[in-house]
Chains A and B, each alone.
Chain A
Amino acid sequence: KAGVTQTPRYLIKTRGQQVTLSCSPISGHRSVSWYQQTPGQGLQFLFEYFSETQRNKGNFPGRFSGRQFSNSRSEMNVSTLELGDSALYLCASSLALGTPYGYTFGSGTRLTVV
């Protein structure tokens, strides 16, 4: 079965712009979570969605937002981009909220802000 699909794979944006990233979970998975990964900070949790509702949120500014659709696909939006937002953004899906069933990660979207 298809894995977690993230689009686009690579993105270059200018400071001040906004960006929307997309994540399609594994079929049947209802939970989608988002992470930012930078060389210095490692993986940092952004937020998790389940049944179209944000259930858990990390410590990121309000410029980072997300949503989940009825088919479990999720989007993440970053407004007023800053140079420090350059990172690999990973999405992971699981059968249900939390990790008892395990996360499956996508390959990520590499965002570069110039």
Chain B
Amino acid sequence: KNQVEQSPQSLIILEGKNCTLQCNYTVSPFSNLRWYKQDTGRGPVSLTIMTFSENTKSNGRYTATLDADTKQSSLHITASQLSDSASYICVVSADLTSYQKVTFGTGTKLQVIP
């Protein structure tokens, strides 16, 4: 069964500090992995996408890594800002015959405090 597990469930950090969010998956056959940021009451916004051959991808202060062998990904946030307070969702796609099946993690809720 395809699963995506994220940790921690929630995290509180001080403004300016770095943090790392984890995503472990059992999706097969793997196609791509995305990290989304979701502000409260809004739809998710894509941060990064990585395919099998990519092991790191950056988007400003966000850097995602992928280890396809261990089926793990991480999202590192550098020099956090108050606006980084949001839920971060890991989404993994399986490449099936005629379409891609998407599995969502339940997210990590990040709170950045002054």
Q: A42-B106, A45-B102, A99-B102 are in contact. Are A105 and B32 (CB under 8 A)?
A: no
Q: Is the CB of B41 within 8 A of A88?
A: yes
Distance (whole angstroms) from the CB of A105 to the closest CB of chain B: 3
Which among B43, B89, B98 is the interface contact of A92 at CB below 8 angstroms?
B43
Distance to closest chain A CB from B51 (angstroms): 9
Chain A residue nearest in CB terms to B4: A42
Closest to A37 in B: B38
User: Which has the most chain A C-beta neighbours within 10 Å: B36, B43, B44, B49?
Assistant: B43
CB of A108 within 8 A of chain B?
Answer: yes
With contacts A55-B99, A99-B31, A102-B49 taken as known, whether A45 is within 8 angstroms of B43 at the C-beta atoms is no
CA distance A107 to B39 in the complex (A): 10
Against B, the Cβ 8 Å flags (1 = close, 0 = not) of A34-46 are: 0100000111110
Known A42-B89, A42-B105, A100-B100: A105·B41 in contact at CB below 8 Å:
no
- B37-80 vs A, Cβ < 8 Å mask (1 yes, 0 no): 00001111110010000000000000000000000000000000
Given the complex of chains A and B, what is the CA–CA distance between A41 and B106 in angstroms?
Answer: 7
**Measured between alpha carbons, how far is A44 from B36 in the docked complex, in Å?**
15
Category for how many chain B residues contact A:
20 to 34
Task: Say yes or no for A25: interface residue by CB 8 A criterion.
Answer: no
Taken together as a complex, chains A and B put the C-alpha atoms of A92 and B43 apart, in Å, by 9
Q: What separation, in Å, do the CA atoms of A106 and B43 have in the docked complex?
A: 5
Given A42-B89, A42-B107, decide whether A98 and B100 contact each other with a Cβ distance below 8 A: yes
Q: Can you give 25 A-B contacts (C-beta < 8 A)?
A: A42-B104, A42-B106, A43-B89, A43-B106, A44-B104, A45-B102, A45-B104, A55-B99, A56-B101, A88-B41, A90-B43, A97-B98, A98-B93, A98-B100, A99-B34, A99-B100, A99-B102, A100-B31, A100-B32, A100-B100, A102-B34, A105-B36, A107-B41, A107-B43, A108-B42
